[in-house]
Amino acid sequence: MSKFWSSMVKRTEPYIPGEQLNEENIIKLNTNENPYPPSPDVLKSIQKEMEHKLQLYPSPSVDHLRQAIAAQHDVKKENIFVGNGSDEVLAFSFMAFFEPGKKILFPEITYSFYPVYSKLFNIPFEKIPLNSDFTLPKEEFFQSEGGVIFPNPNAPTGVYLSIRAVEEIVQNNPGCVVVVDEAYIDFASGSAISLINSYDNLLVVQTLSKSRSLAGLRVGFALGNAALIQALTRIKDSFNSYPIDRLAIVGAEAAMLDHTYFKQTTERIIQTREWVAKELKDYHFHVIPSQANFLFVRHNDHQAKDLYERLKQEGVVVRHFDKDPIANYLRITIGTDEEMKLLFTKLAFILDEG
Ligand code: PMP
């Protein structure tokens, strides 16, 4: 291999998502998908589009969908950028706003894509350790050299940072972009979107993969000042001027417009999360307070790795990150009530074995 390519390969450490298992009869609680199907309107819109429009290119400006998102969040469509899942929107954000030679900051325990993108785009970074209770030490993110990125709620911990604290981080990073990755925000108390009209250095990134049950359709979006959105659009146009396909556009639009269904399913997941958290404590788990659609937990007596393996043998797949300082934690996605009851049946059996 030539020197150039081998150094490129070294720099490129792919992100490995949770296992995608095909077996039937497993309970899949490892990748934070929504256990409920998307709104029935999504399927109707996709069906209609398939019957009549697939021979046509999709809209490069995605105006209707951007309008639907803008209306939902009380901003203008000029404040919205749409991409192929929020992973792609995040990748474009790294390219548009972070520079080689200027160090960016993100938490030590966080979404594992950030170091992957940093290395891929040659952006130096510093990982800021969290407090011992996994809360984010906001002052440590002030006055960055090249920008800041963090999820809110954080992943994989589920810990939420108040909007006021997010605002302080934005205020204390003049001249640098602060990217707030709100993949799980609809299960939490409030979004930083309310701040985008006041700060030109704040970019909020959201997804339809979690609260709108559309992980398979791949739609994510960013909200920010029109200048930030233009910068993202310029990067996107250099790769592919059609950001997402026709089915994704109409499906996502239908999902954004069915507010009643969205409210019902997110509230249901939040309720399930709360009883599961309580129940896990009765099973002697230490449960980190979560505002996401998952729980991050550690058992008082059992190793996370052993529990992960035993649960898997019993047909329940959760997420275990085999690395310090979180090697003794499990991340459990909130499923349906029936799935969670089955989790507890299996846990009772496993923990009883000693
Ligand atoms: N951000 C965070 C924090 C995530 O956990 C995920 C899901 N793995 C994403 C972004 C990406 O989600 P998607 O590409 O499906 O929109």
Asked if the structure places residue 183 within a domain, the reply is: yes
Distance from C-alpha of 340 to C-alpha of 147, rounded to nearest angstrom: 39
Asked if the structure places residue 289 within a domain, the reply is: yes
Residue 252's CB is within 10 A of a number of other CB atoms, namely 28
> In Å, what is the CA distance from 266 to each residue of 58, 63, 246, 260?
30, 26, 26, 10
Q: Which of 257, 291, 310 is the last residue of a domain?
A: 257
Residues 275 and 145 in one domain: no
> In Å, what is the CA distance from 145 to each residue of 140, 234, 290, 320?
12, 24, 30, 33
Asked if the structure places residue 275 within a domain, the reply is: yes
Query: In the chain, how many H helices and how many E strands?
Result: 11, 13
Asked if the structure places residue 3 within a domain, the reply is: no
CATH of the domain at 136: 3.40.640.10
List, for residues 52-65, the tens digit of each pLDDT value: 999 999 999 999 99
Q: Which of 212, 240, 257 is the last residue of a domain?
A: 257
Average pLDDT, the chain: 94
Q: What is the ipTM of this complex?
A: 0.99
Residues 279 and 161 in one domain: no
H-helix segments, 198-258: 226-239, 246-257
Nearest 5°: CA angle at 74, between 68 and 78? Answer: 65
Mean pLDDT across the stretch 150-163?
98
CATH of the domain at 29: 3.90.1150.10
Residues 58 and 117 in one domain: yes
The rounded Å distance from CA 313 to ligand 1 centre is 27
User: Residue 193: which of 181, 176, 209, 211 has the closest Cα?
Assistant: 181
Residues 221 and 278 in one domain: no
Residues 141 and 79 in one domain: yes
List, for residues 67-91, the tens digit of each pLDDT value: 999 999 999 999 999 999 999 999 9
Closest residue by Cα to atom 12, ligand 1, is 86
- For 137-141, the CB contacts below 8 A with 24+ separation are 138/165, 138/168, 138/169, 140/105, 141/105, 141/169, 141/172, 141/173
Residues 240 and 300 in one domain: no
Query: Which among 88, 181, 182, 319 is the best mutation to test ligand 1's pocket, defined by most ligand atoms within 8 Å of the CB?
Result: 181
List, for residues 105-143, the tens digit of each pLDDT value: 999 999 999 999 999 999 999 999 999 999 999 999 999
Query: Which among 92, 111, 114, 334 is the best mutation to test ligand 1's pocket, defined by most ligand atoms within 8 Å of the CB?
Result: 111
List, for residues 254-312, the tens digit of each pLDDT value: 999 999 999 999 999 999 999 999 999 999 999 999 999 999 999 999 999 999 999 99
User: Residue 317: which of 4, 21, 11 has the closest Cα?
Assistant: 21
Q: What is the pTM of this model?
A: 0.94
Structural domain tally of the chain? 2
Query: Which among 33, 112, 209 is the best mutation to test ligand 1's pocket, defined by most ligand atoms within 8 Å of the CB?
Result: 209
* Ligand 1 atom index nearest CA of 209: 15
* Domain assignment of residue 324, given as a range: 19-37+260-352
Closest residue by Cα to atom 7, ligand 1, is 183
Is 100 in contact with 124 (CB distance < 8 Å)?
yes
The rounded Å distance from CA 87 to ligand 1 centre is 6
Q: Which of 236, 257, 278 is the last residue of a domain?
A: 257
Residues 74 and 155 in one domain: yes
The rounded Å distance from CA 14 to ligand 1 centre is 15
